[in-house]
Structure 1
Amino acid sequence: MQRYINKIKDFNELVMFEHSIFSLPFIFIAMIVAADGWFGYTLLVLGVFAAISARNFAMGLNRFADRDIDAQNPRTSSRPNVDGRLDAPSIIIFTLVNAFVFIGVAYIINPLAFYLSFPILLVLGSYSYFKRFSSLAHIVLGISLGLAPIAGVVAVLAEITPWSVMLSLGVIFWVAGFDLLYSLQDMEFDKQNNLYSVPSKYGSDATLLLSAFFHILTVVFWALFAWMAGLGLFAFFAVMLGAVMLSYEHYLVRKDFTKIDRAFFTVNGYLGIAFFILIVFDKVL
């Protein structure tokens, strides 16, 4: 029994399950706004399964593709995909199972969700290889998580609304911006291994500037989302709070690169949760 428990822990560490917090709030923000309130327990369960299986697929494929890179990087050399705890066939099976779960859940939700599930998986999987030939990998990661609001509104309305596109664009630049900051940790390693991150190709100053620009776009698109969706004061307060938290994130990183983990995980995690709570208040009050 303990063997299976340990294996579950290894897969949990492989995909960093706790980081699902980045995408889940924005799926449900879109669903709440689309439904003009509570969207039902059925869609709640299906939304959770869709989000988690999609992310597990993306992370599983990424860890499989990055085995050679992770093994050489001191920061990632203890991950289960390279230290022997999980072999390649196990990771492939895990990844495929999650892909089929995602497609199956999408099929249950509605036909449009089912049709979109295939290109979504293609986008999610492409990130794993982009950094080997293009600095656009940061944007691709942003698109991967930015699909979450689109998925949420499709689940409720079976269509893509203009305001959901604004919300999605905000998430895209939010994620790309903080991924730029996170990649500063591996700048020297990426240079040595000819990986196409923005820090390795253009340096830390350009990375900080581009990340700040992306986060300005984030706030603009989230404000447009609140306006186009006809939301109230709580939603606009969520946008302002997001701007303050993103500014604090940049303050932490610029002050000390050793604070990148704190900026990446803590600040961004709280941002998504706070945004979600305020949108709920907006719809309730």
Structure 2
Amino acid sequence: MGAEISPKAPTSVADALPSNWVDRWAPAAWRPYLRIGRFDRPIGSWLLLFPCWWSQALAQMNSGDHYPDPFYLLLFAIGAMAMRASGCAYNDYVDRDIDARVQRTQSRPLPSGQISPQAALAFVVIMALIGLAVLINFNSFTIWLAISSLVIVAVYPFAKRITAYPQIVLGLAFNWGALVGWAAIKGSLGLPALALYAGCVFWTVGYDTIYAHQDREDDALLGLGSTALRFGDDTVSFVGGMYALAGVMWIIAGALAGAHLVYFLAVVLVFLQMSWQVATLDINDPMNCLWRFKSNRDVGFALLAGLAADMALSWFAGLS
């Protein structure tokens, strides 16, 4: 899986921060693979991980546990990083010709020639096997539930070629962890997990619409679909609607799981953060879009903190 980087090959990826750890510290031979796995841009791993952690915490709160199981939190963290890397490399393999024609993605390892398509596929398999090694620590229902998501993951890269709403397909694939986390604790699915999953899908459609505005001109020239193109100047209203639906579904999920006031206060805080994104969004400024997209990590931590605080306060209340 070795790669030789030519003197003319990009020394970084266009949408990665110049100070990222891959460009600064990783051995040169590793960098193309770390870049194709997006290890230089960890926001996607966070956004994939949070639905897993939320769902796990929601299920354990419903079961009366006092804190989220640290071992499961670790398993989900490793699995999210591995599967995000595998999925991104697969997406880049499918999109390698398109990426070569889009300014923001021309510097990625495949279109820039840093690694071969065959090496990229080998990386996809290796990362997927790491994900499988994590998955076998869960119950059999969870294993098969997680494996079933691969159908949507495989379809996603082709969605923008046939629909104006590829963000919906991304949302369905990217938030499968909202089902898996609950199943890992309960051994089955439940209405709280389904409501959480629906909210996460709306959330993803919203933040990925913001992200897609960075590429809307190239996408239009290439005949590709996106909600950024579909809604254009109405993006602010559309994203606001998606975020509002996400908040409502997360409230329903908490109510169904028996959450208490602190969790619902966390949802309110999350909604205020998402409202800031919408109120300050400038779809004509790529950097503005990128930073509002990345700020969704704050959403993830706030909701997780609300779930953890709910569990802890319930424990203390039971001691008094």
TM-score (norm 1): 0.91
In structure 2, relative to structure 1, the CA distance for the partners of 1:203 and 1:25 (3 Å cut) is closer
Question: Deviation of residue 59 (structure 1)?
Answer: 0.9
Query: 1:245 maps to what in 2?
Result: 273
Deviates more, 1:247-256 or 1:123-132: 247-256
Question: Deviation of residue 264 (structure 1)?
Answer: 0.6
Structure 1 runs (4+) greater than 3 angstroms displaced: 37-42
Deviates more, 1:102-111 or 1:190-199: 102-111
Equivalent-residue separation in structure 2 for 1:236 and 1:151 (angstroms): 23
Residue 188 (1) aligns with residue 217 (2): yes
Alignment equivalent of 1:24, drawn from 45, 49, 55: 49
In structure 2, relative to structure 1, the CA distance for the partners of 1:278 and 1:84 (3 Å cut) is same
Question: Deviation of residue 5 (structure 1)?
Answer: 2.2
Equivalent-residue separation in structure 2 for 1:255 and 1:61 (angstroms): 28
Equivalent-residue separation in structure 1 for 2:265 and 2:228 (angstroms): 33
Q: Identity percentage over the alignment? A: 25
Equivalent-residue separation in structure 1 for 2:283 and 2:156 (angstroms): 29
- Rg comparison, structure with higher value: 2
Asked if structure 2 preserves the Cα contact closer than 8 Å seen for 1:54 and 1:121, the reply is no
Question: Deviation of residue 120 (structure 1)?
Answer: 0.9
Residue 172 (1) aligns with residue 201 (2): yes
Q: Once the two structures are superposed, what CA deviation does each residue of 1:204-246 show, in whole Å capped at 9, x if it has no partner?
A: 1233332221111101101111111111122111111111111
Equivalent-residue separation in structure 2 for 1:154 and 1:78 (angstroms): 39
Residue 257 (1) aligns with residue 285 (2): yes
Alignment equivalent of 1:155, drawn from 174, 184, 198: 184
Alignment equivalent of 1:122, drawn from 119, 141, 151: 151
Question: Deviation of residue 72 (structure 1)?
Answer: 0.7
Equivalent-residue separation in structure 1 for 2:283 and 2:132 (angstroms): 44
Q: Decide which structure has greater helix share.
A: 1
Equivalent-residue separation in structure 1 for 2:233 and 2:48 (angstroms): 28
Equivalent-residue separation in structure 2 for 1:119 and 1:109 (angstroms): 15
Equivalent-residue separation in structure 2 for 1:238 and 1:26 (angstroms): 15
Q: Once the two structures are superposed, what CA deviation does each residue of 1:241-279 show, in whole Å capped at 9, x if it has no partner?
A: 1111111111221486330011011x2011111211221
Task: Please tell me the root mean square deviation across aligned C-alpha atoms, in Å.
Answer: 1.9
In structure 2, the gaps of 5 or more residues are 5-25, 314-320
Q: What secondary structure is seen at the aligned counterpart in 2 of 1:76? A: coil
Question: Deviation of residue 42 (structure 1)?
Answer: 3.6
Asked if structure 2 preserves the Cα contact closer than 8 Å seen for 1:103 and 1:117, the reply is no
Asked if structure 2 preserves the Cα contact closer than 8 Å seen for 1:170 and 1:221, the reply is yes
Equivalent-residue separation in structure 2 for 1:83 and 1:242 (angstroms): 39
Asked if structure 1 preserves the Cα contact closer than 8 Å seen for 2:99 and 2:111, the reply is yes
